Amino acid sequence: MISLGPTDALLVIDMQNDFCPGGALAVERGDEIVPLINQLGQRFEHVILTQDWHPAGHISFASSHPGKQPFETTELDYGTQTLWPDHCVQGTPGADFHPGLNLPHAELILRKGFRRHIDSYSAFLEDDHTTPTGLASYLRERGLKRLFLCGLAYDFCVRYSAIDGVATGFECIVIEDATRAVGLSGSVQETQEVLRSSRVAHTSSLNI
């Protein structure tokens, strides 16, 4: 069992309708983890939610790149961008949290991906690897040091948040059974390798 204290936080990544079955960018069985995340939330004094929050016409949407289809890639100034179906458009039902998510004591909802020309998988840094979201300063000012990550999607936003979290000086632990993956070609295996070879730790909800 991991003993939890006042400098720990549960970071719940993008538990939104568009990433759940029936949504625009559905993660297979993404909704399955909602009850588990609710249960985990009760173990933490501090809970932070992230919300993917794109303007219409966002650069990560295939529809913004004539001739491109969702899940193809394109080259942008900051590197290779996977192109997605339109998803999590600001103010739409798809951008809302899953209706079963029950974390009323969450202290912060951090929105990301709201700049039209930059995507943001990570809760810390946008995909240009330089624009901060403000989360690191928030956590430091609040004295929060250790983050337990869960949510969607394991191979994108959870992955990049955990990697940037440790790079920024936070201890990061992915609760693997409280995540689900998009699963593009090889992305799950690559994520496992990248996380295993970084300082990101992983655990099961059974230890929490």
Tell me which residues are annotated as active site: 14, 112, 157
Q: Can residue 127 be called a binding residue for Zn ion (CB under 5 A)?
A: no
Q: Which residues contact 194 (CB under 8 A, 6 or more apart)?
A: 159, 163
β-sheet bridge partners, residue 146: 8, 171
Q: Is residue 185 within 8 Å of 164, Cβ to Cβ?
A: no
- Under the binding rule (CB under 6 A), the answer on residue 84 touching ligand VGL is yes
Tally DSSP H helices, then E strands, for the chain: 4, 8
Report whether 50 contacts 13 (CB < 8 A): yes
Q: Name the β-bridge partners of 61.
A: 84
- For residue 61, the partner it binds in Zn ion, ligand VGL, none, with Cβ less than 5 to 8 A by kind, is none
The Cα 107–Cα 19 span in angstroms is 22
Task: With contacts defined by CB under 5 A, name the span among 45-53, 91-99, 136-144, 193-201 that binds Zn ion.
Answer: 45-53
Rounded Cα distance, 157 and 87, in Å? 14
Q: Measured from the CB of residue 87, what is the shortest distance to Zn ion in angstroms?
A: 6
Q: What residues between 46 and 105 interact with Zn ion by CB under 5 A?
A: 52
- CA distances to 51, 54, 152, 206 from 121, in Å: 10, 12, 10, 27
Binding residue for ligand VGL, selected from 11, 24, 40, 152, defined by CB under 6 A: 152
- Of 52 and 126, nearer to Zn ion (C-beta) is 52
Q: Site for ligand VGL (CB under 6 A): which residue of 24, 153, 173, 178?
A: 153
CB of 4 to Zn ion, least distance (A): 30
Count of chain residues binding ligand VGL (CB under 6 A): 9
Touching ligand VGL, residues 43-82 (CB under 6 A):
52
Residues in contact with ligand VGL by the rule CB under 6 A? 14, 19, 52, 84, 121, 152-153, 156-157
Residues in contact with Zn ion by the rule CB under 5 A? 52, 113
